[in-house]
Each structure stands twice: as structure tokens, then as C-alpha cells.
Amino acid sequence: MILTTGHLSKQTRLHNKGFTLLELVLVMALSAALLSMTAPSLRNFTRSKPLSEAAAQFIALTEYARTQAALEGRIYLIYINLENNTFQLTAEEEGEFQDLGKEFGRIFHLPEGISFYDFTVFSLLDETDNPGLMLSDSMYQENEEGEKLIAFFPDGFTQPSSFFLKSPAGNTLEILCDSPIEGFRIETPEQDYFL
């Protein structure tokens, strides 16, 4: 008997309902294979997240310091303590550098296991390097306590510096400002840099 209404019979509908056990097993096997291929990259992503967040936090602080130095007409310094893995922003007031007394002036701690590595402060340009461009003296490099200093000047210039943030897993990011007229940026170094 042929149905002309286009509807399937009740018996046909019951027979085609659901998945077979073989179809379910195949879907589970494919899912497991895909998960096993992506798991290592997901593990590296979660391990490197604190490293990238610490780098982004530092970059944000440098942008704030550079802007405020130009707006307020005074020198801002970031103190970097390599032993404690901390950094803090201060501002010049009456010849001395004072805590800011607000959120950006607090002591920032790197996440556990993340550390500063290979800190370098570059000398500032003088007029012989770039005619017509004269910058402040590069006296801000290190204080008596051995903390590294990065200076931000009222004329908009930055003390060029470079350092690495390193995680316990061996992941590294470079924080770099190689010119006094540029801001800091994040770069990923070659894998064999620390080997």
C-alpha cells in the first residue's frame, strides 16, 4: 500500500528514531581523538596565561607613567625589585620620589613562579647620536638598594630598557623599549634563548 499523504507510517517512524550504538561509539572515538590532539596546546595556554597577564599589567603601568609624566610635567619612575619580583610606580615631588597614594602607585607582585630575568637599561641618546634631539641624563638606572629604575620624563621620553619575564615552565616574554621616543612592547623571544 502506498501512502499519498507524504507522511511516514507509525512503524517507519519508530524504526528511524535515535542513534545506533555503533554511531555513538564512532562519535565518542572522534571526540576523544580531537581532545587528545588539542590537550597539550590547551595546557600550555593555561600555563602561559599568568605570564602574559603580568606582561600586560607592566605595559599598562608604563603607558600610564608616560602619559602622567607628560601631563603633570614631572618625572615618574618604576622601581623594579629583582629579588622580590615586584615593581612600583612613583612620581617626583620636590626633588624626591614619592608613592602615588592611589591604585597605580601600589606595589605590584608578579604571579608566583614568574620572575624578572636579564634586565638591561640602555643609555639615552645625546645630540651626537641624533642631531637636534637632546634628552635628559641617564642617571636613573639603579638605586642604592639595587632596584632597577625606568624613568619617564616630562618631555615624553622614556628610559629605554629591556628585560624578560620567565615562568617555571620555561616560557618567556620580553618587555622592551629600545628607543626613548617609543613605548614599551611585548615580544616573544626565540625558544632557545635561555637554553
| Each residue's pLDDT tens digit, 170-193 | 889 999 998 888 899 999 887 544
Helix H or strand E encompassing 50: helix 21-72
**Residue 44: CB atoms within 10 Å:** 12
Residue whose C-alpha cell reads 592611589 in the numeric block: 102
- Ramachandran class of 8: left when φ > 0, alpha when ψ lies in -120 to 50, beta otherwise: beta
Predicted local distance difference test score (pLDDT) of residue 163:
92
Query: Residue 164: which pLDDT band, with cuts at 50, 70 and 90?
Result: very high
Closest listed residue to residue 45, CA positions, set 162, 167, 165: 167
Q: What are the φ/ψ torsions at residue 175 (nearest 5 degrees)?
A: -105, 120
pLDDT digits (tens, 9 = 90+) for 114-135: 999 888 877 655 444 554 444 4
Domains annotated for the chain, with CATH where assigned, are 50-194 (3.55.40.10)
Round to whole Å and give the CA distance between 169 and 23. Answer: 41
Predicted local distance difference test score (pLDDT) of residue 109:
94
CA angle 123, 127, 132 (to 5 degrees): 130
Mean pLDDT check: name the lowest of 55-69, 99-113, 115-129.
115-129
DSSP collapsed to 3 states, 130-143: CCCCCCCCCCCCEC
Query: Residue 70: which pLDDT band, with cuts at 50, 70 and 90?
Result: very high
51 grid coordinates: 605570564
pLDDT reading at 144 higher than 50: yes
Work out the average pLDDT over 26-53. 75
DSSP 3-state assignment of 160?
A: coil
pLDDT reading at 97 higher than 50: yes
Closest listed residue to residue 155, CA positions, set 90, 63, 61, 66: 66
pTM of the model: 0.68
pLDDT reading at 160 higher than 70: yes
Round to whole Å and give the CA distance between 63 and 138. Answer: 20
Helix H or strand E encompassing 89: strand 86-93
Predicted local distance difference test score (pLDDT) of residue 101:
81
